[in-house]
Structure 1
Amino acid sequence: MPSRITRGQRFVLAAVCAVAVSTIYAIQPVLESAGGELGLAGPELGRLVAAGQLGYFAGLVLLVPLGDVLDRRTLIVGHLILTGTGAAITSLAPGGVAAGAGLALAGLFAVVVQITVAYVAATSPPGERGRNIGTVTSGVVLGILGVRLLAGVLGDSLGWRSVYAVLAVLCLALALVARLTLHSDARLTLHSDAGLTPHADACLTLHADAGLTPHADACLTLHPDARPARARYRDVLAAAGRLVLTDRLLLGRGLIAFFLFASFGTLWSGLALPLGAAPWHFGTTVIGLFGLAGLIGAVAAARAGSWADAGHAHAVTGWSLVLLAVSWTLTAWTSPSLWPLITGVVLLDFAVQAVHVSNQHLLTAAHPERSSSVIGAYMAFYSLGSALGATTTTWAYAAAGWRASCLLGAAYAVAALAVWALTRRTSASPTLPLR
């Protein structure tokens, strides 16, 4: 049985998620000032945002499956160091090319977030898996929204480079803390070159962190088709591709995530536009404060993990998507008072986080032996949806104003609800892992 994750470890893992994902989104609030100093303008500014997102997408495909092959604690530590390295390169970049390279490197290894979620799923007892995933993934939303406030304050007072300097230091500090506080989740991997005769019995010693009595002897049998780690990595990549094409639960929950985060991206990539325009004319720091409203909703939704543990993940998904669609009717009102907008932001982020936690709980429960691969595949839908929302909200705003953006965000929410309704029967039944 998996060992219990302590409260302190949950805090460390949530912090890892928050800081790592911040390296991707920190450039958005300071984009204009960074572009001015780096000699970039107009469409060239979009390349800075795209660099981190493209690196992140590549990491989802190529790096996250490593969690099903290697010790996830080691991966968490290593990825944090490399994410911090990318942030440091960005903070010191003399020009746009170097800054883009740093952002791409940070984005590539920021997929430590998904390795962390897989670590939690693999090391949590079944009755606590949803709660632990909910707590840790709340760090993701904390990072996405909180970094807007951090970047706004630091950017206005110390300059945009200070944002990435702080993130670099935090990544390196968390790498050390993770190495000291987390236990290994190393799984036994038997190789064909182990020097033993095929089918020979090999008695190995398992330790306490494997969930068994310390030093208990376990006799395992080696088979001729045992493969080295590199071959297993290729197998894991191939299996992830097959899962996307053939597993109805993953495809259904992935499509829900695609529209869910398109709706989320519509809000957070476009909200600065009406707040910076008449009649408000807010600056970067004040706009960043609106992230606090989102944090309230996201933190409140951490309870969704416990609901999922109790078997309510499907119901939570349905009513949360309804709430998401309804929240846009409030978010559309930006005058004469901002209170409807603030209320809508709280409800929207609550709904998004509740669905996100429920999705990951269902997927990791259905595929416990390959939680890293399935989360990586799922998050690829998330990444594409976020990009769609970020792109289309500016188009809608330019065409017909903020209410057009809100109508678009509501349409994405309704699309997610339609996918949930169409796949409800599939999601309600157990999914058999692919061999």
Structure 2
Amino acid sequence: MHSQPPATTLSPALTLLLATATGLAVASIYYVQPLLRLLSDQFGVGSAAIGLLPTLTQLGYAAAILLLSPLGDRFDRRRIIAIKAAGLVAALAFAALAPGFAALCIASVAIGLMATLAQDLVPAAATLAPEAERGKRVGQVMTGLLLGILLSRVASGSLAALAGWRAVYASAAVAVALLIPLLWHGLPRFVPATQAGYGSLLASMAGLWVKHAPLRRAALAQGLLSVAFSAFWSTLALVLAGPEFGQGSAVAGAFGLAGAAGALIAPLAGGLADRRGPQAVIRAGALLVFVAFAVQAVAPASLWLLVGVAVVFDLGVQAALVSHQSVVYGLDAGARSRLNAVLVSVMFVGMAGGAALGSTLLAAFGWRAVPALGAVAALGAWAIARRR
């Protein structure tokens, strides 16, 4: 069964709503990171145990990408969005009221599971957008997602300093709750693209990987760029605190603003992909990432250079991501949720690998090893993007 185009088109107001909802959904994963010290003191647990909170959130997110996101092709996507948004509100509220560390661990898993709401909103935008403007429209929604990732740490740390960590989760729950009626009334009903059973949906993702070479290239190239992205951001606070820079956590949090400047390129990159073709944008994005990290690896230590690197490489990563999504969503209109799940799953593997490799290389060889890793990964992505 093929999906029928919904009657509603993607107006600027609906685009803004989807971008806002996507940003708030994905931000829920990252609120905990600046709070770890406060939570460690609150519940009397050590650094190893408190590290379970972001780990459990990420594991919940990864599991839901594979196990829940494909349902967007089988059921009305509007209903799935509403259910996940309500679930996210409940998970955030439970975190705000958590009486102990174990309860907060459970809430962290639930937040990760429900935050994959973001991965239902982006395919919804791709379905509603006119084909000639799909890259631009998806890019605008992706700006919300990327700003959610990059600014969540700044917002969480600032609010916690003013009102405590529980206020972070409570405010996030209220913000998502306010969006639910707007999403329900703003989105049309989506006709399911398939009547396949759940097991068949999961199995079909492997078939999509085998069938579509552009999907494999997009996932592998973006996965490598995710290695570079994650290696930088997961080690930044440690690098800044080192003798070369001597900066504290406040400066590390403020770097989210530098990354956000790069994220704002997403709609422009999507529009350029519509006009010139996505492959040229992907290659240019990968090249920007390579140049930024190569310069950082050999140049003298400079805080302002590090800011510039964050802006340039993030611009490259986001431009490539929006263009890769434009490629992937054009492969099969009836499988957009599953195609997105495959792409994001490989990106997640890259994120996890980048965090692990970045930390290991930093400890073994010093801070310059991290941009060296980023440059090598970006060069690999550029080589993949050159293949047809």
Determine the C-alpha separation between the residues in 2 that align with 1:70 and 1:336.
52
Counterpart position of 1:392: 357
Determine the C-alpha separation between the residues in 2 that align with 1:38 and 1:246.
50
Larger Rg: 1
1:354-404 per-residue CA deviation (whole Å, 9 max, x = no partner) reads: 110011110111111110111011100111111111222222222222211
Counterpart position of 1:92: 97
Q: Does 1:18 align with 2:23?
A: yes
Determine the C-alpha separation between the residues in 2 that align with 1:108 and 1:139.
19
Shift of 1:55: 0.5
Q: Secondary structure at the match of 1:372?
A: helix
Determine the C-alpha separation between the residues in 2 that align with 1:186 and 1:152.
41
1:118-176 per-residue CA deviation (whole Å, 9 max, x = no partner) reads: 11111111011111100001111101100111012122222222222221111111122
2:182 to 177, 202, 212: 177
TM alignment of 1:188-337, pairs within 5 A: 229=195, 231-278=196-243, 280-332=245-297, 337=302
1:109–1:291 CA distance, 2 compared to 1 (3 A): same
Counterpart position of 1:226: none
Counterpart position of 2:33: 28
User: Partner amino acid for 2:113?
Assistant: L
Higher relative contact order (CA 8 A, sep 6+): 2
Counterpart position of 1:433: none
1:58 to 49, 56, 63: 63
Shift of 1:187: 4.2
Higher helix share: 2
TM alignment of 1:133-152, pairs within 5 A: 133-152=138-157
1:263-296 per-residue CA deviation (whole Å, 9 max, x = no partner) reads: 1111111111122334654443332111111111
Q: Secondary structure at the match of 2:142?
A: helix
Counterpart position of 1:431: none
TM-score of the superposed pair, with normalisation by structure 1 = 0.83
After TM superposition, the structure 1 stretch with the greater mean CA deviation from structure 2, 280-289 or 366-375, is 280-289
User: Partner amino acid for 1:404?
Assistant: A
Determine the C-alpha separation between the residues in 2 that align with 1:32 and 1:234.
42
1:182–1:333 CA distance, 2 compared to 1 (3 A): farther
1:162–1:279 CA distance, 2 compared to 1 (3 A): farther
Flag structure 1 segments of 5+ consecutive residues without an equivalent: 190-228, 426-435
Shift of 1:348: 0.8
1:167 to 172, 184, 187: 172
Determine the C-alpha separation between the residues in 2 that align with 1:232 and 1:241.
15
Determine the C-alpha separation between the residues in 1 that align with 2:84 and 2:78.
10
Counterpart position of 1:106: 111
Shift of 1:316: 0.8
Shift of 1:10: 0.6
TM alignment of 1:306-385, pairs within 5 A: 306-332=271-297, 337-385=302-350
Q: Secondary structure at the match of 1:402?
A: coil
1:394–1:32 CA distance, 2 compared to 1 (3 A): farther
User: Partner amino acid for 1:60?
Assistant: I
Determine the C-alpha separation between the residues in 2 that align with 1:92 and 1:401.
41
TM-score of the superposed pair, with normalisation by structure 2 = 0.93
Shift of 1:333: 7.9
